Each structure stands twice: as C-alpha cells, then as structure tokens.
Structure 1
Amino acid sequence: MTTALVLAAALGSAVVAGVFATFSGFVMRALGALPPATGAAAMQAVDVTALRPPLMTALSGTAALCVAAAVAVLSGGGPVAPVLTGAAAYLAGAVLVTAGANVPLNEELRRSVPGTPEGDAVWARYLRVWTRWNTVRVVACTGAAAALGSAPFV
C-alpha cells in the first residue's frame, strides 16, 4: 500500500508540475504578448476555470497523497528520507506557494479592471510576479516527483 501511495504522489506531483510548467513556459508569455486589456481579461477567465476540476482535484488530491505517503513511511512502511523530502517539497512548493502568493495575485487581478491605467499596472506586475512564483511551483513539484519517484522499495 505504501508503494502505491508514494508512486501515486510522485505521478500527481509530475502532473501538477507539467500544468504549472505550461503556464510559465508559454501561456504567460502568450498572454503578455497581447494588448494588456486582452491579456488580463483572458487570465481572469483562466483563473475562474482553474478553480474547477481537474486542476483542483490534481492539486489537492496530490497534497492528500503526499500526506498519506508521509504518514505511511513514518509508520514503518518504507524509505523515510525521499518520501518526506518529496512530500515537503510538494506541500511547500505547490500548496503553500499557491495559497500565499499565486492566489492573492489572482484575487488582485480579479478585482482589477482591464484596460484602465490601474488595471494595466496590475497586469504588468501580475505577469512578472505571478510567473516568478509559478516557476517556484514548477521547480518544487518537479523536485517532489523526483524525490518520491526515487524512493527505493523492496
């Protein structure tokens, strides 16, 4: 059972890393190439859609799998170091960064009015700062997948 939990957490971490990498790699660049009002409005629509499954299921489901895998190995069910490292990387990098950085930026963007001077300023800052924090999520989730996937099982 522990092996299945760890492998599922590794897979979930990799899937979430891929979603985040897509945004840092080209979606945000594409939105930034649009006129500010258009890019901001498009991202506002993306943010609404992101709050539904499958992203929320992948994000929160992987967090639950990481916690379950950590509990399982701490209960004597396998290699502690790679599992705790991977779980901590995912929980800190995906869950805490999302809640502490990306969501507040999404809220600020949601409250802005695209096409106004204030809205354009929010958008310019959002593109830069949100993408930076999102890239932190990419690195953390990729590291989590690697750590979890490296756990040796006998």
Structure 2
Amino acid sequence: LYVNGLPLVVIELKNATDENATVEGAYKQIQTYQSQIPSLFTYNAFNIISDGLEAKAGTVSADLSRYMAWKTTNGQTKAKKTQAQLEVLIHGLLNPVTLLDMIRHFIVFESNKQEDANGLITIKTIKKMAAYHQYYAVNAAVLSTIRASAVNSDSKSAEVAMQ
C-alpha cells in the first residue's frame, strides 16, 4: 500500500482457492521479500498477510505468533465471525484515519542487548505495533482524559492533546 509514493504497508495475499495456501506461507513470503528486496521495507510501517480466510497484521521484526487479526471496523463492535477477516482488517486498520494514527502514535521500537557465551554483544531492535484492542482502548482513554480535564474538545488545546 503506497502512501504519497512510499510503500508503507506490504500485503501478501495467498490464493483463497488454493487448499495449500496458508497464513504461514504468506508470512514466509514476506520474510523472503525482506531478505531479497530490503529496500521495500525502508519506509514500511507494518505488513499484512492473508490466506484468503485469515488476515493478520504485524511488523518486520515480528514472528508469526505476533501477527494479529484486526477484529473491528469501528472500534465499537467486533466483526461477526462470518465476515471476512481481510475485509475487516482493510476497513478497520487501513482506512486513512486509523492507518495514519497507527503509524504516528502506535508503532514503537524496543532495543534488547544480548551477550553470547563468548562475550559478543549484539543489540537487536524490535518494532512493535498495537493490536486492535490496544489501539481503541488508548484512544478512548485519551479522549476520556481530555473530557475529564474540562478541555473544550473544539479548542486548540484539545487538538494539541490529541497529537
């Protein structure tokens, strides 16, 4: 998914009619892209993988177990189990407001220092993104705090607080 010419989201969709297509296969394909086309991930915010039934989002440093489904389109109600996960993810996470808010406020980096038996120290940086419930809970908490502090939601101070 390109935004202003930058590939912010890499999406790997497997053929839903292929009985051998899996989310794991889509994940492995993303890993192949990372090793063979690293420049594709220079501006990458996160990835989406799908086998046509399941759909999940995760970051370049996440293993498959950290890729998560997006389970709501509006933050108010969970999608029905009969609704296609990819459709929910696209409408819920990739809508312009949520996508840009996720990139700006809900992607963080964590560095871990590791020392091996020979004393070699390596520092690994891990990119993390909020899951759907964390995203909506934090935004609700911020809005509640603004309201509780008696800041006029139409004022400039509320606008600054939400940034």
- Name the TM-score, length of structure 1 as normaliser: 0.24
Structure richer in strand, relative to its length: 2
Structure richer in helix, relative to its length: 1
Q: Which has the higher contact order (CA 8 A, sep 6+)?
A: 1
Please identify the structure whose Cα radius of gyration is greater. 2
